[in-house]
């Protein structure tokens, strides 16, 4: 104890010790407080009062007194008691820091025969083990068993084995939980994309029911939905079945151009519907500016807030015009010309590969339909170009892959708009992983480029070549 010059302070401290031992903790606190007032540098008075607070379960006050006691005169008892208080307050990391301070205060030789301190380190090891700090658990066991005897060495080895077994078991559990969470997230993304990809053919059916009632459009949209349902079922169940079905689907009357034609029709019927209007605000606004319906000074926010009636009129006009083109069985060139007038120029490169063929509405077509649909819808949603640069959709054959790419100009304002779930690229990553394809999430930039590479071995039989 710090030597006290004031006798009454000494007496107060001794009474504090006595009352604490007798369980009169409130009286102990009063006496220790008087001792501290008389002798502010008495570390043991703080320690004694901290113990009284501890037994009253006032752990915060106890820690405050232990802090002061350690500041004035470091000792292992104060660290130990503060560590226990931290445990009761649910702060095991701070408790472990106190045990580490105890190690710094004394060398192992000074407490090799002190069973109480060794038990403290054993408790610290278990505490570290419970919060998955395995290296600390091993360190404290080392100081808990100093291997004075063979028996102690056996105990030490046994506990080290327990720590290792627990660590391995928890890592396995964590890995399983991680994989389970990834699987659950993948299923959520799958369901989101399943609903998303159904919208294009569904909107085509809805419009057809309300306006045109063309049997061909009904049949095409319904069969597309059936194909999508089948492939999503396969994707969710077995990756190998999916790749095998794509490899074996190599004969039929469907081609890359036929899928592109079908996709373009359904995408536009979806985006030109009233429900799709929010995804292409910029196209309506830019057209209105180009036609002199509004001034160039009108901002994006002003267009959405103040010109919604004009936008609604344009939406109906465009929807009717494009539907009329479909009724007239307009050629792809005619539909692309209409698209350039209202949206942007779409350059289609490399899709005239007649040797890549597959059955209509079956696995390969549905697989490629999903890819093209996701890529083209995003091109419409995020397109922006002051000088109307084209969107370039390209199919490229290389020695190892068939690469579907899309380059479309964009600006940050459009990319920052909330126009969907934002899970499209995540889904494409999962689809690539399941089929052995290559897809890297593209960087958000004005000259936006997306590429999806399909291994030749997946479409090799369709190419009519041998590896």
Q: What is the SS3 string spanning the chain?
A: CCCCCCHHHHHHHHHHHHHHHHCCHHHHHHHHHHHHHHCCCCHHHHHHHHHHHHHCCCHHHHHHHHHHHHHHCCCHHHHHHHHHHHHHCCCHHHHHHHHHHHHHHCCHHHHCCCHHHHHHHHHHHHHHHHCCCHHHHHHHHHHHCCCCCHHHHHHHHHHHHHHHHHHHHHHHHHHHHHHHHHHHHHHHHHHHHHHHHHHHHHHHHHHHHHHHCCHHHHHHHHHHHHHHHHHHHHHHHCHHHHHHHHHHCCCCCECHHHHHHHHHHHHHHHHCCHHHHHHHHHHHHHHHHHCCCCCCCCCHHHHHHHCHHHHHHHHHHHHHHHHHHHHCCCCHHHHHHHHHHHCCCEEEECCCCCCCCECCCCHHHHHHHHHHHHHHHHHHHHECCCCCCCEEEEEEECCCEEEEEEEEEECHHHHHCCCCCCCHHHHHHHHHHHHCCEECCCCCCCEEEEEEEEEHHHHHHHHCCCC
pLDDT of residue 148: 66
Examine residue 145 and state whether it is found in any structural domain, yes or no: no
Examine residue 168 and state whether it is found in any structural domain, yes or no: no
Examine residue 18 and state whether it is found in any structural domain, yes or no: no
Examine residue 317 and state whether it is found in any structural domain, yes or no: yes
Which strands make up the sheet holding 438-439, listed edge to edge? 346-349, 391-397, 401-409, 447-455, 438-439
Examine residue 39 and state whether it is found in any structural domain, yes or no: no
Walk along the chain (467 residues) and give the pLDDT tens digit of each residue.
444 444 578 889 999 999 999 999 999 999 999 999 999 998 999 999 999 999 999 999 999 999 999 999 877 788 889 999 999 999 999 988 888 887 766 666 666 667 777 788 888 888 888 888 888 888 888 877 776 677 778 888 888 888 888 888 888 888 887 877 766 666 566 555 555 565 666 666 666 666 665 666 656 767 676 777 777 677 766 778 888 888 888 888 889 999 999 889 888 988 998 888 888 999 999 999 999 999 999 998 999 999 999 999 999 999 999 988 988 889 999 999 999 999 999 999 999 887 788 888 888 888 898 889 889 988 998 898 888 899 999 999 998 999 999 999 887 776 666 655 556 777 788 888 888 999 988 777 778 889 999 998 888 654 444 43
Compute the distance between CA of residue 79 and CA of residue 100 in angstroms, rounded to an integer: 9
Compute the distance between CA of residue 76 and CA of residue 188 in angstroms, rounded to an integer: 54
Domain that holds residue 305: 182-463
pLDDT of residue 3: 41
pLDDT of residue 4: 44
Q: What is the CATH number of the domain that holds 206?
A: 3.30.565.10
CB-side neighbour CA atoms (13 Å) of 242:
24
Radius of gyration (C-alpha) of the chain in whole angstroms: 37
Examine residue 102 and state whether it is found in any structural domain, yes or no: no
Q: Which residues share a beta bridge with 395? A: 404
Record the pTM: 0.58
- Could you give the number of structural domains in the chain? 1
Examine residue 379 and state whether it is found in any structural domain, yes or no: yes
Q: How many CB atoms lie within 10 A of CB 401?
A: 19
Q: How many CB atoms lie within 10 A of CB 257?
A: 16
Is the distance from CB of 126 to CB of 134 less than 8 angstroms? no
pLDDT of residue 236: 66
Compute the distance between CA of residue 275 and CA of residue 264 in angstroms, rounded to an integer: 18
């Amino acid at each position: 104890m710090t030597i006290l010059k004031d006798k009454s302070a000494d007496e107060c401290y001794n009474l504090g010790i006595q009352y604490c031992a007798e369980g009169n903790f409130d009286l102990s606190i009063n006496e220790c407080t008087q001792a501290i007032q008389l002798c502010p540098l008495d570390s043991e008075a703080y320690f004694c009062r901290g113990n009284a607070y501890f037994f009253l379960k006032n752990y915060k006050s106890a820690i405050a007194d232990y802090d002061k006691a350690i500041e004035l005169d470091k000792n292992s008892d104060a660290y130990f008691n503060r560590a226990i208080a931290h445990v009761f307050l649910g702060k095991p990391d701070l408790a472990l820091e106190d045990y580490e301070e105890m190690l710094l205060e004394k060398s192992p030789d000074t407490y090799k025969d002190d069973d109480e301190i060794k038990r403290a380190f054993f408790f610290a090891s278990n505490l570290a083990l419970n919060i998955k700090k395995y290296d600390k658990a091993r360190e404290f066991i080392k100081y808990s068993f100093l291997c004075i005897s063979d028996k102690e060495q056996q105990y030490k080895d046994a506990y080290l084995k327990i720590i290792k077994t627990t660590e391995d078991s928890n890592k396995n559990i964590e890995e399983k939980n991680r994989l389970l969470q990834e699987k659950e997230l993948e299923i959520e993304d799958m369901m989101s994309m399943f609903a998303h990809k159904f919208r294009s053919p569904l909107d085509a059916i809805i419009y057809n029911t309300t306006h045109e009632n063309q049997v061909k459009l009904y049949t095409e949209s319904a069969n597309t939905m059936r194909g999508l349902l089948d492939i999503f079922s396969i994707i969710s169940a077995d990756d190998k079945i999916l790749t095998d079905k794509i490899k074996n689907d190599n004969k039929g009357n469907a081609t890359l151009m036929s899928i592109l034609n079908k996709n373009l029709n359904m995408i536009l019927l979806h985006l030109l519907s009233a429900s799709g209007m929010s995804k292409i605000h910029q196209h309506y606004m830019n057209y209105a500016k180009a036609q002199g319906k509004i001034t160039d000074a009108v901002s994006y926010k002003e267009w959405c807030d103040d010109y919604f009636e004009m936008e609604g009129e344009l939406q109906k006009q465009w929807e009717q015009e494009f539907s009329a083109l479909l009724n007239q069985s307009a050629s792809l060139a005619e539909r692309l010309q209409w698209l350039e007038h209202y949206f942007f120029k779409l350059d289609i490169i490399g899709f005239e590969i007649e040797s890549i063929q597959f059955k209509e509405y079956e696995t390969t077509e549905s697989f490629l339909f999903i890819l093209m649909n996701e890529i083209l819808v995003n091109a419409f949603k995020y397109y922006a170009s002051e000088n109307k640069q084209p969107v370039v959709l390209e199919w490229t054959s290389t020695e190892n892959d068939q690469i579907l790419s899309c380059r479309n100009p964009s600006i940050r304002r459009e990319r920052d708009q909330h126009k969907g779930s934002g899970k499209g690229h995540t889904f494409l990553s999962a689809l690539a992983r399941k089929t052995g394809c290559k897809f890297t999430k593209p960087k958000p930039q004005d000259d936006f480029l997306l590429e999806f590479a399909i291994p030749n071995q997946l479409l090799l039989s369709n190419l009519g070549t041998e590896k």
